[in-house]
Amino acid sequence: MATPAALTREAGPVVRTETSEQERLYAKRRGSYTFNVSSLVHVQSRLSFAYVLLCALALGQEPGAKPGAAAPPDGKAAAAKSEEKSALPFQIQLLETHVRFESNGDSRKEVHTVVKINDLAGARQFARLGFDYNRAFQQVEIPLVKISHVDGGTSEILPGAITDAPNPAVRDFPAYDDVRVKSVRILGLQDGDTIEYQVITTTTKPPLAPDFWLEHTFDRSGQVLEERYEIDLPSERRPEIRFNPATPATSEEADSTGAAGRKLYRWAGRFSAPGSENSGAESVPDSQVTPDVSLSTLSWEYLSIRLDELLLPGSQPLTEIKTFEDQVKELGRQPEVAAEIREKANSLTKESKTDLGRLKAIYDFVSGRIRTLDLPLGATGFRVHAAAEVLKTGYANAEDKYVLFASLATALKLPTRAALTGFCDKKTLPLPTRFRHLLISAQAAEKTFWLDPSLEVAPFGMIAPVPDQWALLLNRGIYAMNSRGHEWIEIPPALPFPAFQKVNVEARISGEGTLTAKLNYVSRGENELVLRVAFHETPKERWKEVAGLLALSDGFRGAITNVTASDPMATKDPFTVEYEITQAKFVDWSKKPVRIPALLPQIALPDLPGKTAGEIELGTPLDVQTSLTLRLPAGTTVQTPAATSVARDYATFSSKYDGHLNTVSVSRHINFLKREIPTERAGDYNAFSRAVQNDQAQVIVLLPADTGKKD
């Protein structure tokens, strides 16, 4: 199914597919076992995103790819490539896109696609075409779906075969049924069939009109044999346009039809990565892609102002107010506080004695009691519902959660702001579709707290890592400021409590060599949030799968049983996970002596930075303790390695090994004390890292009971 982002991202506010930004950020940080299980967050989303990206290619949309040079069409090369690609489920023979913007912000996007089905997998993928859109300001037409059969003959899909229904994500949430999908079911596809279809998306009076924007990256995977792209712009709006030098427009010209003040840009060809044909190149996340073409009529300041206006129900656009007095009055507008909102705010905080206590009370309610609708940021075009309506329905997307939170806070005279994260590059063109998360900045007890109630399981004051620690602050007050740059704000990388991780392993190796172990994890901090989200979003009957991924990341293999976890929504206490694992033939007692590693998760340390980096990033201060008790068959003799102890002002590490008859005890403790150290200390840090790694590489020697007997 084509994503809403793929269908409408160039025309205005859109639905964006979540791209695991949080996982990638966690993966870059140091830490112990749980930094290696970042893939647990949105496991299903990661898998579905790969499928969505593949289908987006087939449905005439722009996949993510690294920029490269354009290659001119070549019939022989295309034919050769077609042969190479025959193993793929399908091949896009032609992808044509025409986008036209009007001065008032309206737009029309036409996509024409010809797809060759290569095998049954491709036929299954195209058994249903889906096109997402927002009914509040968009329409989708499918004037053509034609199948040319390999055995001769053609057939066309009749209008009656096209269905229009709420997106499955909002099916049980009628307040959001404008987020829809138009579908076409295609039966009887076979190997060698060709599908040709046309999709027209019309956007009228979008929420940020008259402004518009566009971003496009040409396919370089080898999946598309020929791509044609055209942009038709009104000259009077003078959007800022940027092109990738590697893919200049094939032609630039004024509209030859006689239309006044219009400019056309065209591209045509087959695009490949620099220096290679790049068939089958892997796509990369949107945030790592330099677009081939981007344009915007917005500035970062104006985007901040307009989005803040949209998130304030009842507000009037400041640019439409004629007098200075009325503008000042509008700038003083506060979130509306209906009677039921005030009553709820007082009810939630009647036991709270301080502003901080009141802030925590409304956060716990909005975070845990208002169900989060899993729609990407901007799915509704930043159009929001009134706080009283959100309170009544009991569910909300991230934007509506902010509206409710701000209204409750206003009733208690607690100031709040919204900010967008997931992207930070002030030099690029402003596009609202670049962002991934909405955070809330709230003040109490003369402190600022950053909150994310849309996660449902984030402890108060904890948010997912923010790229470069910067966010776009939404503030319509910028409209009245003389100086610039107030729209970007730095978010301090602070946690509301000390971060720690504890892993305890109780293990046994039988006389047959079978390993059984019970692992207990206790976590507080960023890794806690990863695990909370993973277990919260996974049905309890599938927790064994999550524990299996956790075990694999720690180097354990075997059958998982008896998985338990604390309540992910009980955020005032550390999060705990426990599971048992069994691995047959873990050791072969006939091999004497038997050498095994300490059965503990490996503690990972951050790599040294490149030559241009200014600091060695250690991340959030974190205390990690791991311990093992291993019981062995009667009479087993144990030889343990030497302990290690190394201390620096930025981190300390110590280990202890104790072996008795039939029992081994191991403990390792690392404590990161600073967030970063100067690169001048790289040599010292390298020595510290080697000491930790050498200790973890040591083995325990086991001698079975009959080792000393003579034949």
Q: Based on the domain organization, do 443 and 459 belong to the same domain?
A: yes
- Whether the pLDDT of residue 279 is over 60: the answer is no
pLDDT for the residue 425: 86
Contact 397, 167 (CB under 8 A): no
Question: Is residue 397 one of the residues assigned to a domain?
Answer: yes
pLDDT of residue 348: 97
More confident residue, 362 or 69: 362
Q: For residue 207, is the peptide bond before it cis, meaning its omega torsion is within 30 degrees of 0? A: no
Pick the closest to residue 586 from 559, 548, 561, 562 (CA basis): 559
Sequence-distant (≥ 6) Cβ neighbours of residue 354 within 8 angstroms:
444, 445
| pLDDT per position as a tens digit, 255-269 | 656 556 899 999 999
pLDDT mean across residues, the chain: 84
Checking if the pLDDT of 286 tops 90, the result is: no
Enter the tokens of residue 174.
């009628």
Lowest average pLDDT, out of 112-116, 121-125, 287-291, goes to: 287-291
Per-residue model confidence (pLDDT) at position 258: 54
Separation CA 398–CA 16 (nearest Å): 13
| Domain co-membership, 560 together with 470 | no
444 and 560 inside one domain:
no
Is residue 181 within 8 A of residue 167, CB to CB? The reply is: yes
Shared domain for 421 and 470, answered yes or no, is yes
Q: How far, CA to CA in Å, does 522 sit from each of 205, 479, 672, 705?
A: 51, 48, 17, 36
Give 708's pLDDT tier (boundaries 50, 70, 90): very low
User: Does 41 have pLDDT greater than 60?
Assistant: no
Amino acid at position 199, single letter = V
**Does 93 lie in the same domain as 203?**
yes
Residue 651 neighbours by CB under 8 Å, 6+ apart: 618, 670, 671, 672, 673, 674, 688
Distance of CA 652 to the CA centre of its chain: 33
Q: Do 510 and 474 fall within a single domain? A: no
**Domain at 527, CATH number:** 2.60.120.1130
- In the listed set 295, 317, 340, which residue is the last one of a domain according to the structure? 295
Mean pLDDT of 609-633: 85
Query: Are 213 and 82 within one domain?
Result: yes
The length of the chain in residues reads 711
pLDDT digits over 146-169, tens only?
A: 999 998 899 998 888 899 999 999
- Enter the tokens of residue 325: 């007095």
Q: At residue 308, does pLDDT exceed 70?
A: yes
CATH of the domain at 449: 3.10.620.30
pLDDT value, residue 564:
96
Q: Is the pLDDT of residue 285 over 60?
A: no
- 622 and 654 in a single domain? The answer is yes
Q: Is the pLDDT of residue 404 over 90?
A: yes
Note whether 524 and 462 are same-domain residues: no
The C-alpha atoms of residue 245 and residue 259 are separated, in whole angstroms, by: 29
Same domain flag for 555 and 674 = yes
% residues pLDDT > 90 (the chain)? 66
CA angle 192, 193, 197 (to 5 degrees): 140
Query: Which residues sit opposite 392 in a β-bridge?
Result: none
| C-beta separation of 69 from 274 below 8 A | yes
> What CA–CA distances, in Å, run from 572 to 93, 568, 620?
56, 10, 20
Q: Which residues pair with 31 in a beta bridge?
A: 604
Measured CA to CA, the distance from residue 435 to residue 428 in angstroms comes to: 13
Residues 325-369 have pLDDT tens digits of 898 898 899 999 999 999 999 999 999 999 999 999 999 999 999
Identify the band that residue 499 occupies on the pLDDT scale cut at 50, 70 and 90: very high
pLDDT reported for residue 59: 29
| Banded model confidence at residue 79, pLDDT cuts 50, 70, 90 | very low
The residue among 529 and 3 whose pLDDT is bigger is 529
Q: What is the edge-to-edge ordering of all strands in the sheet holding 128-134?
A: 128-134, 179-185, 162-166
Cα separation, 490 vs 603, in Å, equals: 30
Could you tell me whether strands 293-296 and 371-372 are parallel, antiparallel, or unpaired per DSSP bridges? unpaired
Higher local confidence (pLDDT), 82 or 555: 555
Quote the pLDDT of residue 68: 26
pLDDT band at 13 (very low <50, low <70, confident <90, very high): very low
Band (pLDDT 50/70/90 cuts) for residue 25 is very low
The reply to whether 689 falls in a domain is: yes
- How many domains is the chain built from? 3
Residue 473 lies in a domain: yes
User: Is 536 among the domain residues?
Assistant: yes
Identify the helix (H) or strand (E) that includes residue 423.
none
User: For 493-505, what is the mean pLDDT?
Assistant: 92
Answer whether residue 26 is part of any domain. Answer: no
> 3-state SS string over 224-289?
ECCEEEEEEEEHHHCCEEEECCCCCCCEEEECCCCCCCEEEEEEEEEECCCCCCCCCCCCCCHHHC
- Point out the least confidently predicted range of 149-163, 378-392, 667-681: 149-163
The CATH number covering residue 218 comes to: 2.60.40.3140
In this predicted structure, what is the pLDDT of residue 483?
Answer: 67
Task: Pull the structure tokens for residue 362.
Answer: 């409304």
CB distance 666 to 627 below 8 Å? yes
Nearest CA among 526, 372, 376, 278 for reference residue 48: 376
Q: Name the phi and psi angles at 406, rounded to 5.
A: -65, -35
Q: Determine, yes or no, domain membership for 47.
A: no
The whole-number pLDDT of residue 616 equals 87
pLDDT of residue 35: 27
- Does residue 42 lie in a domain region? no
Pairing mode, strands 470-474 and 107-117 = unpaired
Query: Given this model, what pLDDT does residue 592 score?
Result: 84
Q: ∠ at Cα 231 (226, 233), nearest 5°?
A: 175
Instruction: Kindly state whether residues 411 and 550 are assigned to the same domain.
Output: no
- Phi first, then psi: what are they for 131, rounded to 5°? -130, 110
Q: Is residue 371 part of a domain?
A: yes
Q: Rounded to an integer, what distance in angstroms lies between the CA atom of residue 127 and that of residue 481?
A: 55
3-state helix, strand, coil in the chain (%, to 5): 30, 30, 40
Q: How confident is the model at residue 613 (pLDDT cuts 50, 70, 90)?
A: low
Write down which residue in 490, 515, 533 finishes a domain: 490
**Distance from C-alpha of 558 to C-alpha of 595, rounded to nearest angstrom:** 19
Same domain? For 460 and 338 the reply is: yes
Q: How confident is the model at residue 76 (pLDDT cuts 50, 70, 90)?
A: very low
Considering 435, 470, 490, which residue would you say is the last residue of a domain? 490
Kindly report which listed range (188-197, 315-324, 446-455, 688-697) carries the lowest average pLDDT score.
Answer: 315-324
pLDDT (0 to 100) of residue 362: 97
- For 40-49, 125-134, 582-591, 669-678, which range has the lowest pLDDT when averaged over its residues? 40-49
| Dihedral sign computed on CA atoms, order 382, 387, 388, 390 | positive
DSSP 502: E
Is the predicted pLDDT of residue 78 greater than 60, yes or no? Answer: no
**pLDDT of 610:** 59
Contact 607, 670 (CB under 8 A): no
pLDDT at 17 over 60: no
Q: What is the mean pLDDT of residues 193-199?
A: 96
Question: What is the β-pairing status of strands 622-631 and 594-597?
Answer: unpaired
- How far apart, in whole angstroms, are the C-alpha atoms of residue 9 and residue 12? 6
Q: What is the mean pLDDT of residues 445-459?
A: 94
Q: Which residue range(s) make up the domain with 411?
A: 303-490
Q: Report which secondary-structure segment, H or E, holds 295.
A: strand 293-296
d(CA 495, CA 620): 8
